[in-house]
Structure 1
Amino acid sequence: MQTPSTDTVRRYRRACDYLAAAMIYLRGNVLLREPLRPEHLKPRLLGHWGTCPGITFVYSGLNGLVRRTGQRTLLVTGPGHGAPAVHANLWLEGTHSVVDPDLTLAELIKGFSWPGGFPSHLSPEVPGVVHEGGELGYALATAFGAALDDPDLLVACIVGDGEAETGPTAGSWHATKFLDPGTCGSVLPVLHLNGSKISSPTIYACMSDEELTDYFRGAGWTPRIVDVRRTDDPDRLLAETLDKAHAELAQRPMILLRSPKGWGLPEDAGGGTFHAHQVPLSAEQLPEIEAWLRSYRPEELFDEDGVPADDLLEVLPPQELRLGRVPQANGGRLRRELPLPELAEFAVDVDEPGSVTASATGTTGEWLAELMRATEQRRDFRIMCPDELASNKLDAVLAATGRAFTWPLTEHSEHMSRDGRVMEVLSEHLCQGWLQGYLLTGRHGLFPCYEAFASIVDSMVNQYAKFLKMAGEVSWRAPVASLNYLLTSEGWRQEHNGYSHQGPGFLNNLLTKKASVTRVYLPPDANTLLVTMRHCLATTDRINLVVAGKNSAPQWLDLAEAERHCRAGAGVWEWASHEDPEVVLACAGGVPTVETLAAAWLLRSQAPGMRVRVVNVVDLLALSTPDRHPHGMSAEDFTACFGEDVPVVFAFHGYPSAVHEVLHGRPDPSRFHVHGYLEEGTTTTPFDLLVSNKMSRYDLAADAVRRTRGDDGVAQELLSRRDALKEYAYREGEDSPEITEWEWSA
């Protein structure tokens, strides 16, 4: 394959830069075949010019590297607002026509930031994209996730110097310490130093070359500087630097790219300054816009029909190696179903409800360990966790694989391995980014986390939910494995850690997302958690939230019953219920289930003759109506659980508002009286935490009495007993045996 001249490479970049600028400004006369008139401009000028020339510079450099080496390369673009540059390259390399053969050059230019066209940022509608870059900070973590367990892949990642100021990016520079060169691909970061953010200088651009190289050497990188302002042949300099980096991937190279902001924009129009960041010239500056666009001489680059000159295509790699066509960017096509182990070997034997105790996550940990063993050769399942695997009683997994780490270790390190498939780092952002990159390139994973701190990635999951929603509307995108959260160390058993660790709000955030994407599960015991995890790991294109306890607790259902219960999503527990109930005691979540059954047990002695039905909800969105969520129970099934006109006292794991939100659209939702977390907490005992949030068994039983019999003194007796047990906890420093040793009996 003939090596193109640097003049040809410059012409290629000139064509891309012209197309990018035209996308921002033009709706007609897209190749300037006639004088530019106001009606040729878009009525709304949208987009970001400042980073586009630098993105094309890197893109064309990577094209050359791939041509010379045959290296399969995935490009992750942190400055997603530089989408015009990526579109220009995709159109010239022919990738746009692969997924949309009817997309002409004129339609691409007009359709950018046009109603019904391409967004101003990268998005799932764009081939080659696994990271949108809409919210800055996550590109580098995503790039590392894409490189895991793919030893033949190079992931180049453009990091904007504004993006580099974010906390997630700062943490991501250390991700190289988790990447095993024997089993994983390589990540080549390109820190694009073009000097400024929207309207002020960036920290990194203000650092000297010496400061930058010292900084990144300290983080474990081998930085190489490409400063286009100090060379007459920037393309040759970049090519030489990329070749050296590729030859020395084991030394963890990175590139520090210095280029002017809005490179190619005249200085008197703001070129080289923050004024080039978005749309540098207004519609009122029509002569200046025309002069700038004509400076690219589009008539030399495209014929009358918009077909690019033959020599422009000489810079491209072979079709199968073009950046927009790398298979990993449509990872669903690479995804294989997991060899999920059978559950029977791991299930808890439950002869009678409440007759045995077990840890739900401890039981699931054994099953996950077997899944790790089953995927040892294929290496397409990982766990990303912020240093909480052992704390959450999932550490059985460490008997099957180690914690990934490639740096020198301290003396007392345990279960560490260069090729381990547990990724533990005290950064929820990094875990989320790793997992997103891993899933979108065709693999599977699980994100266990303390419940209170999952909200650290609220914004990231917002972006990912949008990605999945839009990807589901793109015909050529294949389904990817679901993003699975297992939240444990849940708030009701964080009484010892105090108020800071008591927060179930991540669940509420998930409820705001599209019904096509999100699912929420609250398995009440070990066997239902096993069934739920098997289901979640087999699904695609979902965000599955599972909340489960780690502490030893009563077990309610055997495996067959758990299968049926999870399949239904909610159901009456007949063994704890009466026929023709006066009141329904409903529950969702491990601790609320215990409290609800204890309340039903109390009512048998304190309010004899009261007819109670116990309903457990394992799939929270089963409470929705079928027209609002695909998991919503039919009206008949809903009535079979909750009746038509009886009061329902509902003990819920999280904020009560979540249940009320989900119940919207059901007949007479006002009969549901939800107890849950009321944002009351401190360092105390488990029972006192329940009491402070009106979620104890005594509160539930008293509420049931009031809803059916009014205030006949029984409710007050129950609350008085509650207060006496609270006083015991404050006096003795622990909960009464009446609470800690309680057992269910029929």
Structure 2
Amino acid sequence: MPAQLLSQPNPPPDPSHIPDSILSLRVDVPKNVLSSNELDSIRRFRRAADYIAAAMIFLKSNTLVEEPIKPDDIKHRLLGHWGTCPGLVLVYAHLNAIITRTNLNSLLVVGPGHGAPAILACLWLENSLATFWPKYTRDRQGLSALIRGFSVPGGFPSHINAETPGSIHEGGELGYALSVSFGAVMDKPDLVVCCVVGDGEAESGPTATAWHAYKYIDPAESGAVLPIVHVNGFKISERTIYGCMDDKELTALFVGYGYQPRFVEELNDIDQDLASSMQWALDEIHKIQKAARSGNPIVKPRWPVLILRTPKGWSTIKSLHGEYIEGSFRSHQVPLPEAKNDPEERKMLQAWLESYKPSEVLPNGEPSEEVLSIIPKEDKLKLGQKKEAYAAYEPIDVPAWIDHGVKKGTQESCMKVVGKFLNLVTHSNPTSFRIFSPDELVSNKLDAVLEDADSGRNFQWDPASRAKGGRVIEILSEHTCQGMLQGYTLTGRTGLFPSYEAFLGIVHTMMVQYSKFVKMAHETTWRQPVGSLNYLETSTWARQEHNGFSHQNPAFIGAVLDLKPSLARVYLPPDANCFLSTVAHCLRAKDYVNLMVGSKQPTPVWLSPEEADRHCIAGASIWKFASTDDGLEPDVVLVGIGVEVTFEVIAAAALLRKLVPQLRVRVVNVTDLMILGPQGSHPHALEDTDWDALFTGDGESDGKGRRYIHFNYHGYPVELKGLLFGRQGLERVTIEGYREEGTTTTALDMMLQNHTSRYHVAAAAIRGGAKVNKKVEVDAHEMISYVMHLAQKDREYIYANGAVLHCCTVVRVRIIPPPLSTSVLYTRIFTILL
């Protein structure tokens, strides 16, 4: 599009290709619901907030422009986004008014995250800033501090974040405000979340899918979301899609989504129009809820949505240097970027700020009585002081998992066992726990959660689950699951996100933004803890028998490892009992991002419930049953981190016992990945003495010091290298993990291709052991060659027969000496899994 067109206000789109009959689907409501006094108060509130928002972007002194603006009055760096602010102030003012009239219990979620000046201005006017940040008192001194401190070191940033009272959504990356809002109202029947969706954000894929989220809201048990689509026509330097759609097209779109759209667009009387529209929307919400709560729910109810049209940067200067400002992309950020150095721009800034008549609405730096009259009198009703946003955590009742553990020595799917446990959790917490899953519960073998209607799915457009109180939200969009989980968690409840391993990366940046919100929340004095964000990662690369290479990606582990150490937790439980212990722990934990990685296929149960409990508390332990002489005085330490790779470590130890009996092996399993970091690098990191106790230190009896360590790791080796960096003696460490190899094949072949097989582990052990044990050294080359020969023979058999060789050497190996029953037990397990 030519630059000269981009600089012009948005022309009306051509509606000729849409039939006029579509307009019959638009909603008309009575106007003039505001009295003259209410109307005057709302307009004064808007002028005051617009003034403060604009002043925050530009001024560091001369707060009320009581004298001509000088260069020294203007900040050195002009940061902020003006374009969305007037529209956000308009919405905030009218929410205040309707809360004051009706005692509405409401939160505001702001999609245009860089609209912080508008929200901070409104929070100062309602005295919520001073409640949480005492230096921002509602007087001249507090106003000066707010304006002077915006977007400077030590002050508020230009986007809404955890430091902003009333917020439950991190501004910045767009697309998630709507799904967060729907998560927030689940199981809060009296809450209405007003969600402003900018027309730039509306272009994102996550927002497009999130419009369907109301189909998972049961009005009998949950609150409601009132979406307000703010169409001001421009992004940073381009028109928006919604800005180029006329009313017919937008009506057709939202009617197709299943909403009742109502347009608010008459600028001359926009306050009466918006007040009427909000009251209509609230009445429609109450109508839907009343029907559901009286036992006669409306099938496929049409929830209201407001389409708010205002000019971009409304009320700023009209033009500058021959270019349109108001109503164009040029008002998106700072309309007068050279005001500090250009006298003409400085003069225009003076006129712009004075147009709000600050002496009328902010006499002596305090809001006038007319401005204050629309603000709710009770603090608990103010948008900035809603406890749902900062102090609503409800600990959930987690059943004693150990009572539901499984028998040691059997084979169990971690996910099947966990699914049964989660069914109990849902029954114990009917209004404070939900599972958000991208349509993979059955595939992930967690379907025991769905055994009962009240613990099953909650999809209101499906007659099989409608109005049944199900605890599972299952929608294919990972983004929508993540957004709803965030909203549910940040308003006090606890959730779980199970997913295929390969596709958790879709929400990588959402998870990171959430962690930044929690990190900043920790740095406030007033935000209370919230439940942890819990991910259950399964259908892993190690057992992709049919999905192939596209379904192999353990990178989400690294994404969590990169978080602030105080927030990040990564667990790789080796069996079903350890997984039960880990899930129970994570559901009780607060303020973390918890990632649990495990297998959905049947695998050995190595530890009894009591042993698993101790193992998980420790985060790692020496597995004596798989070690030589209970792990005493080893030549080499073999470490398994992950279900299948730990199995290969144990198989390697058994193979070595047969082939190289003179090699002394210690087997260690790590279930809490964070213990491996250098002392002090993470709250869970092992002390150096504890590290040495597991992995050997300088005090070995033969005086030869630390032993060779081989890690068999489920994720990418580079992740483990980064985690271990800073530990002493890393020259003795080797690591194998996922190498981006594999396709539709057998489990053992996946291990072979990625060098995590028992044969690769055994070869690494021989190499390491040879450095300290002369008896191993003399035969090392021969035995390594033989072990890798076995690997090649197994692979040839797999490709010739489509199955694993059942007569391979390890099946005939007793893993440990007597008692015989244990030896036979593990031999049988190997036979089955091979």
Q: TM-score range by the shorter chain?
A: over 0.9
| Selected match of 2:758 from 677, 697, 706 | 697
Q: If the length of structure 2 is used for normalisation, what is the TM-score?
A: 0.86
Q: Does 1:706 align with 2:758?
A: no
Following superposition of structure 1 onto structure 2, how do residues 33-182 of structure 1 map, counting pairs within 5 Å? 33-103=66-136, 104-182=142-220
Question: Structure 1 residues 612 and 226 mapped into 2: Cα distance closer, same or farther (>3 Å)?
Answer: same
Q: Which amino acid aligns with 1:84?
A: P
Q: Does 1:381 align with 2:439?
A: no
Aligned partners of 1:648, 1:716: CA distance in 2, in Å?
Answer: 20
Question: Structure 1 residues 101 and 493 mapped into 2: Cα distance closer, same or farther (>3 Å)?
Answer: same
Aligned partners of 1:741, 1:371: CA distance in 2, in Å?
Answer: 40
Corresponding residue of 1:213: 251
Q: Which amino acid aligns with 1:343?
A: W
Question: Does the aligned pair in 2 maintain the 1:597–1:744 contact within 8 Å?
Answer: no
Question: Does the aligned pair in 1 maintain the 2:170–2:514 contact within 8 Å?
Answer: no
Q: Offset at 1:528? A: 0.5
Question: Does the aligned pair in 2 maintain the 1:178–1:418 contact within 8 Å?
Answer: no
Corresponding residue of 2:602: 552
**Larger radius of gyration between Structure 1 and Structure 2:** 2
Choose 187-196 or 360-369, whichever is displaced more.
360-369
* Cα distance per residue 1:487-527 (max 9 Å; x no partner): 01111011421110011000011111100101000000011
Q: Does 1:601 align with 2:654?
A: yes
Q: Offset at 1:418? A: 4.6
Following superposition of structure 1 onto structure 2, how do residues 218-617 of structure 1 map, counting pairs within 5 Å? 218-229=256-267, 232-249=268-285, 250=288, 251-269=302-320, 270-282=325-337, 283=339, 284=342, 285-304=345-364, 306-319=365-378, 320-330=380-390, 333-350=391-408, 355-376=409-430, 379-400=431-452, 401-409=455-463, 418-578=468-628, 579-617=632-670
Following superposition of structure 1 onto structure 2, how do residues 591-740 of structure 1 map, counting pairs within 5 Å? 591-644=644-697, 645-709=706-770, 711-738=780-807
* Cα distance per residue 1:15-44 (max 9 Å; x no partner): 100000000000000101111000000000
Aligned partners of 2:37, 2:173: CA distance in 1, in Å?
Answer: 37
Question: Does the aligned pair in 1 maintain the 2:108–2:193 contact within 8 Å?
Answer: yes
Aligned partners of 1:447, 1:408: CA distance in 2, in Å?
Answer: 22
Report the identity percentage. 48
Aligned partners of 2:367, 2:814: CA distance in 1, in Å?
Answer: 77
Corresponding residue of 2:13: none
* Cα distance per residue 1:70-114 (max 9 Å; x no partner): 110100000010000000100001111111222101001111101
Q: Offset at 1:712? A: 2.3
Question: Does the aligned pair in 2 maintain the 1:48–1:82 contact within 8 Å?
Answer: yes
Q: Offset at 1:703? A: 1.3
Aligned partners of 2:359, 2:388: CA distance in 1, in Å?
Answer: 36
Q: Offset at 1:738? A: 4.4
Question: Structure 1 residues 738 and 312 mapped into 2: Cα distance closer, same or farther (>3 Å)?
Answer: farther
RMSD over aligned Cα atoms: 1.5
Aligned partners of 1:516, 1:5: CA distance in 2, in Å?
Answer: 48
* Cα distance per residue 1:165-205 (max 9 Å; x no partner): 00000000000110000000000000000001000000011
Question: Does the aligned pair in 2 maintain the 1:687–1:739 contact within 8 Å?
Answer: no
Aligned partners of 1:588, 1:729: CA distance in 2, in Å?
Answer: 25
* Cα distance per residue 1:300-319 (max 9 Å; x no partner): 12222x11111100111232
Question: Structure 1 residues 595 and 618 mapped into 2: Cα distance closer, same or farther (>3 Å)?
Answer: same
Question: Does the aligned pair in 2 maintain the 1:403–1:417 contact within 8 Å?
Answer: no
Helix, strand or coil at the partner of 1:233: helix
Q: If the length of structure 1 is used for normalisation, what is the TM-score?
A: 0.96
Q: Offset at 1:741? A: 9.6
Aligned partners of 2:240, 2:35: CA distance in 1, in Å?
Answer: 40
Aligned partners of 2:808, 2:578: CA distance in 1, in Å?
Answer: 24
Q: Offset at 1:334? A: 2.1
Corresponding residue of 2:774: none
Question: Does the aligned pair in 2 maintain the 1:402–1:417 contact within 8 Å?
Answer: no
Q: Offset at 1:447? A: 0.5
Question: Does the aligned pair in 1 maintain the 2:218–2:467 contact within 8 Å?
Answer: no
Aligned partners of 2:810, 2:429: CA distance in 1, in Å?
Answer: 41
Aligned partners of 2:573, 2:36: CA distance in 1, in Å?
Answer: 60
Aligned partners of 1:81, 1:38: CA distance in 2, in Å?
Answer: 25
Helix, strand or coil at the partner of 1:358: strand
Q: Offset at 1:118? A: 0.3
* Cα distance per residue 1:430-479 (max 9 Å; x no partner): 01000000000000111101011000000101101111111111110000
Helix, strand or coil at the partner of 1:81: coil
Unaligned runs of 5+ in 2: 1-33, 137-141, 289-301, 698-705, 771-776, 817-834
Aligned partners of 1:699, 1:315: CA distance in 2, in Å?
Answer: 72
Corresponding residue of 1:745: 815
Q: Offset at 1:66? A: 1.1
Aligned partners of 2:397, 2:179: CA distance in 1, in Å?
Answer: 27
Unaligned runs of 5+ in 1: none
Q: Which amino acid aligns with 1:610?
A: L
Helix, strand or coil at the partner of 1:388: coil
| Selected match of 1:25 from 52, 55, 58 | 58
Helix, strand or coil at the partner of 2:363: coil
Helix, strand or coil at the partner of 1:224: strand
Helix, strand or coil at the partner of 1:712: helix
Question: Does the aligned pair in 1 maintain the 2:45–2:371 contact within 8 Å?
Answer: yes
Q: Offset at 1:679? A: 1.1
Aligned partners of 2:493, 2:384: CA distance in 1, in Å?
Answer: 19
**Over 4 Å off, 4+ runs:** 415-418, 738-744
Q: Offset at 1:346? A: 1.1
